[in-house]
Amino acid sequence: MMDEIEQQPAALERTLREELPKIEAFRRRIANRPISMVCLVARGTSDNAAVFGRYLIETLVQVPTSLAAASVTTLYRSRPRWKDALVIALSQSGESTDTNLYVQAARESGALTVGITNEQDSSLTRLVDEVFLVHAGREKSVAATKTYTGQLLMLYLLAYALGAPVPPKSLERLPALAERALGAKKAVAALSERYRFMEQAVVVGRGLNYANAFEFALKMMETCYVVAERFSGADFMHGPIALVERAFPVFIFAPPGPTRDTTLDTLRRLRGLEAETILIGPARDSEAAALATRTITVPATGAVPRNCPDDLLTPVPYIIPAQMFCAFLAEQKGLDPDRPRTLTKVTQTI
């Protein structure tokens, strides 16, 4: 798992280099094709990446975007009307049964379909109109890490193809940001010792980092066997905060941008409850850091393109310290994060 976490800068660079020409061709292809809605279908870690895609596309392309309920098609046999729709399937292996059945049905019902996968010869690649690859190389650990950030990158590129003001030049910073995020390795390893006996936690994120809250919690559950709930900052304040008591661990993604003020409100409330708050955010945000119990510092992402939010490029570098934390925490607990009990690399469900 740690080896694959450290491979992410190179994997992101390869993916951008290899897929950008295909994205440019796709952008030209759909320039005059009406797309009235986007639907993303996935499971597991890929579904967490899809959450990011939903926020990104709705925010910057302003096209209604949803997450598919695959069972509507696979179990209930319903066939939604897909006129003028784009359906995007995400699967690390390309062999997720319900994802594949859903995107196949959508294509048969008139949708333009796209597949994002790490496996060029997978079943998914034969079912969709367009294929975009995550060039992560073989992922051996059951816990997906480099394919998750690769999927985030591909969703940035697809948003660009759909008209988002995210020039590919700005995405060229992501490999370097990932490399800098790896610089927190020693600090994260030391921090993990404190939580060796942690059995439950909450992860909070909002906006473009809401997906990271889901992914961080999933990694804690599957590699460390920690019962980890995940919430948006708004949902958390609407009820679940009631479970927090003194020293209860709450991990919070705290990027700059539109979500910052509400994140500060959440931190103030948690400070009053004497919770154990672990902040993932930039070093320069001293106000947020002063409200937290512990801080995992991530690199500043720099200026963003015009008409884009300040947190645009944060999801990739912000998830990397969280991935490392889970790998180190599993080690502290005497667990093997590469082989979680009862799990396999490819899960097939209907």
Residue 73 and residue 87 in one domain? yes
Residue 157 and residue 223 in one domain? no
Residue 12 and residue 91 in one domain? yes
Q: Using CA atoms, how far apart are residues 316 and 55, in angstroms rounded to an integer?
A: 15
Residue 186 and residue 273 in one domain? yes
Burial class (CB in 10 A: 0-12, 13-18, 19+), 268: exposed
pLDDT (0 to 100) of residue 339: 86
Task: Find tokens 């729709």 and name the residue.
Answer: 85
Residue 256 and residue 281 in one domain? yes
Task: Find tokens 């690649």 and name the residue.
Answer: 125
pLDDT (0 to 100) of residue 340: 81
pLDDT (0 to 100) of residue 316: 98
Domain that holds residue 43: 2-172
- Pair type for strands 294-298 and 65-67: unpaired
Tens place of pLDDT for every residue, the chain, 350 residues?
A: 999 999 999 999 999 999 999 999 999 999 999 999 999 999 999 999 999 999 999 999 999 999 999 999 989 998 888 999 999 999 999 999 999 999 999 999 999 999 999 999 999 999 999 999 999 999 999 899 999 999 999 999 999 999 999 999 999 999 999 999 999 999 999 999 999 999 999 999 999 999 999 999 999 999 999 999 999 999 998 999 999 999 999 999 999 999 999 999 999 999 999 999 999 999 889 999 999 999 999 989 999 999 999 999 999 999 999 999 999 999 999 999 988 877 665 666 76
Residue 199 and residue 302 in one domain? yes
- The continuous run of DSSP H or E covering 331 comes out as helix 315-332
CA-closest candidate to residue 61, choices 177, 213, 166? 166
Q: Is the pTM of this model over 0.75?
A: yes
In total, how many domains does the chain have? 2
Q: How many residues comprise the chain? A: 350
Mean pLDDT of the chain: 95
Whether 337 is in a domain gets the answer no
Residue 286 and residue 205 in one domain? yes
Residue 231 and residue 99 in one domain? no
Contacts for 29 with CB less than 8 Å, ≥ 6 apart: none
